[in-house]
Amino acid sequence: MTARLDRETCALRGPCVVIAPPGAVHGFEFEADTVGWVCSFSIGLAQDLSARSAGFRRFLEQPAAAALSTATVLATDLVELSEMLLREFERSALGRETALRGLLGAWAANVYRAGQSKMPDATEVDARKREVVAKFRERMERHLREHAGIRTYCRVLGVSESQLRRACLAVTGQAPVALIQLRMLVEAERQLRYTAMPVTEVAYYLGFEDPAYFSRFFSRRTGLSPKAFRAQSCSHPKPRLFCSAT
């Protein structure tokens, strides 16, 4: 299969695991006879599941894809839990929501066990810095289209610009402005790929007052105009999804 996460594309052979958190532009192309599970759940539920494990939370927050060995998968209960989760999802039995939540927690923990050794290494960083970056990202998600400046974010977060910059560089390797621009670019790609809004409307939707400036912003960072990107995206095969649980 081929997985596209944000602007990265990788080819994988099964078994494999793919994490596509909220905000990540993603798509998949499957070979014939591919079998697998797609499990979608809310960001709030993901936060609840990972509340007691910073490593688990980081695992769910970062888009990633990695091949696994058959032995690694068999060492977990992933197959059994996936089948049980899907079976419960298709029912309307008493206590369904409680059962789904419990099964999802066990399933996600097994995905974490299987995938953590194969995912990019998460450098140990001061918990305070991770907290600052997490709050910054949360605010960014809520106010992205307002094009707020770094000073505004810092004032709301109660940190200085240098503190925010140091935290972002330590946790993500990128400065705050770069993270905002990347998130804007991801959202622009999402709107161009998955909606029929004209480019001008996409620009206004994203908070750009000048559609021409939006086109320059997009072209400088992708090498394609918004129209060219949309045309290229439409020429790719649509992803095929399998069983889903929420």
Residue 48, number of CB atoms within 10 A of its CB: 13
pTM of structure: 0.58
The tokens of 142 are what? Answer: 């809520």
Residue 135 three-state SS: helix
The residue ranges of every structural domain in the chain are 2-122, 123-173
**What are all long-range contacts of 196-204, with beta carbons under 8 Å and residues at least 24 apart?**
199/226, 199/227, 199/230, 202/226
Residue 25, pLDDT > 80, answer no
Query: Tens digit of pLDDT for each residue in 108-130?
Result: 888 888 877 555 544 455 778 88
Q: In 3D, which of 32, 28, 31, 25 has the Cα closest to residue 17?
A: 28
Residue that wins the pLDDT comparison between 7 and 41: 41
Q: pLDDT band for 165, please (50, 70, 90 cuts).
A: very high
Mean pLDDT across the chain, nearest whole number? 83
Q: What is the pLDDT of residue 212?
A: 96
Q: In 3D, which of 57, 64, 110, 61 has the Cα closest to residue 83?
A: 110
Q: In 3D, which of 80, 83, 68 has the Cα closest to residue 16?
A: 68
Q: In 3D, which of 18, 31, 114, 37 has the Cα closest to residue 69?
A: 114
Q: What is the pLDDT of residue 16?
A: 86
Query: Tens digit of pLDDT for each residue in 185-229?
Result: 888 988 998 899 999 999 999 999 999 999 999 999 889 999 999
Residue 43, pLDDT > 50, answer yes
